[in-house]
Amino acid sequence: MIKNDLYLKALRGETVERPPVWMMRQAGRFLPEFRAMRDEYDFFTRCRTPELASEITMMPIRRYPLDAAILFSDILVVPQAMGMNFEMRDGIGPWLEKPIRTLEDVQNVIVPDVDETLGYVFDAIELTLHKLDNNIPLIGFAGSPWTILCYCIEGKGSKAWDVAKSFCFRNPEAAHLLLQKITDTTIAYLKRKVEKGVSAVQVFDSWGGALSPEDYQIFSWPYINQIVEALSPLTHVVVFGKGCWFALEEMTLSKVSALGVDWTITPELARTLTNHTMTLQGNFDPTRLHSSPETITKMVTEMINRFGKDRYIANLGHGILPNIPLENAEAFIRAVVDWKPN
């Protein structure tokens, strides 16, 4: 039994004394011990070495009273397993030397045996669960098929993802074939994570907001929902779509346990769009962590009061930024841990 199960209670919709708290991208980036390891090992070496990935996962847990851990990894390990040689380049970020541009390229993409290609992730889960010693839950994650497709077509990050979108609009057959291959791989990957002992999984649709509401229902949500349908009988599934508030009503009709929301929507509207029945997660603007600790405490308290303590997981509206002061991150977490009803 997990000793601190606040996060799981929130996912189940149970009454809690306070909301649970964790931060997206909490395993790294802003922590000095993470940066020290970064100077010694390149990014994907850290992802692919179970001992390193496990250690990074534990770094924020040792510093802060968080209610959940999320395994250190990256969404791009899935397309790597499918035969796409993504690198992480300094000053650029994700980089794919030969992006997918044709139907033939898509046909050459494999749906791998995840045990053969992603076994290092599963080994990291085992190591991390041993270190957590049933104190808090461990979250596994994957990128949404649409978000993965964006990187595979563009070959790098983008502000508008216009190359990826144009590919889909000009070559819908190829786009849907690629999306299905990513979906099938992701389902197998997340199922294995559950078998290895994670308590919940989160799907990150980081670039879903680049699509119109109509195109979101064509190129993103149907594939996320396949993942939800496959995983929901096995574990809690959280879906976070950045900029995707327009899809919250549709998402609420699915079998998700919780929906993440970003800072572009008010708590009140998020509750209304989800019919006041859904556990919500978010939605503090990560850049707001540059405010003073006093301001952060005040704003977090207000955020909880507006969402309500039940069916709510306190979190950021996207990943924590690399240059956030440690005391500001702590102020965010402490404000949730110390929250009391009025």
* Interval 181-208: pLDDT, tens: 999 999 999 999 999 999 999 999 999 9
Predicted local distance difference test score (pLDDT) of residue 233 = 98
* Whole-angstrom distance, CA of residue 225 vs CA of residue 294: 40
Predicted local distance difference test score (pLDDT) of residue 24 = 98
* Interval 58-73: pLDDT, tens: 999 999 999 999 999 9
Q: Is 101 a catalytic residue?
A: no
Contact 94, 157 (CB under 8 A): yes
* Interval 12-48: pLDDT, tens: 999 999 999 999 999 878 999 999 998 899 999 999 9
Predicted local distance difference test score (pLDDT) of residue 90 = 86
- What pTM did the predictor assign? 0.97
Backbone angles phi and psi of 339, in degrees to 5: -60, 140
Contacts of 322 (CB under 8 A, 6+ apart): 29, 30
Q: Is 18 a catalytic residue?
A: no
Q: What is the mean pLDDT of residues 140-163?
A: 97
* Interval 279-331: pLDDT, tens: 999 999 999 999 999 999 999 999 999 999 999 999 999 999 999 999 999 99
Residues at the binding site are: 25-29, 44, 74, 151, 206, 318
Residues at the binding site for substrate are: 25-29, 44, 74, 151, 206, 318
pLDDT at 91 over 90: no
Q: Is 29 a catalytic residue?
A: yes
* Interval 231-277: pLDDT, tens: 999 999 999 999 999 999 999 999 999 999 999 999 999 999 999 99
Architecture of domain 6-287+309-320: Alpha-Beta Barrel (3.20)
Q: What is the mean pLDDT of residues 85-97?
A: 94
Catalytic residue among 46, 48, 67, 151: 151
Q: Is 74 a catalytic residue?
A: yes
User: Torsion angle, CA of 56/67/207/37, rounded to 10 degrees?
Assistant: -10
Closest CA to 20 of 329, 331, 341, 312: 312
Predicted local distance difference test score (pLDDT) of residue 28 = 78
* Interval 106-138: pLDDT, tens: 999 999 999 999 999 999 999 999 999 999 999
CA dist 243 → 209, 322, 323 (Å): 4, 21, 23
Q: Is 306 a catalytic residue?
A: no
The residue extents of the domains of the chain are: 6-287+309-320
Give the pLDDT band of residue 342 (cuts 50, 70, 90): confident
Catalytic residue among 67, 74, 184, 205: 74
